[in-house]
Amino acid sequence: ILHRTFYYAQAGQMLFTRMLQMLLKQHYLALTTVTGIPMKEDVASRSSLNYDVDIVHPAEVHHSLRERAPLKYWRQIKDDVETIVL
């Protein structure tokens, strides 16, 4: 059985967000955001900036986190996509 779904999205961030939503749903994936990762900007600089990195992975990982709950995490809606923030 073939199903069709039509989406509307303008170019730019809205198109990216819609494509991400479709990808996550189609392949049963989830998004986790790891925050506060230090990265040195250049060799001469002694300071570093903290970055946030989004990881796409199988959705079962979120279920495992909820069951075990050893980590403090929270759900967040980021660009209309649900993520768990670590």
Percentage of residues in the chain having pLDDT higher than 70: 84
- Asked if residues 79 and 52 have their Cβ atoms less than 8 Å apart, the reply is no
Predicted TM-score (pTM) of the model is: 0.68
Domain ranges of the chain: 29-85
- Collect all residues with Cβ–Cβ distance below 8 Å to 56 and sequence separation of at least 6: 23, 24, 29, 30, 31
Q: What pLDDT was estimated at residue 28? A: 93
Q: What pLDDT was estimated at residue 69? A: 66
Mean pLDDT, residues 53-80? 77
pLDDT tens digits, one per residue of 32-57: 888 888 887 766 667 778 899 999 99
The dihedral over CA atoms of 76, 35, 64, 83, expressed in degrees to the nearest 10, equals 30
Q: Is the pLDDT of residue 70 over 90?
A: no
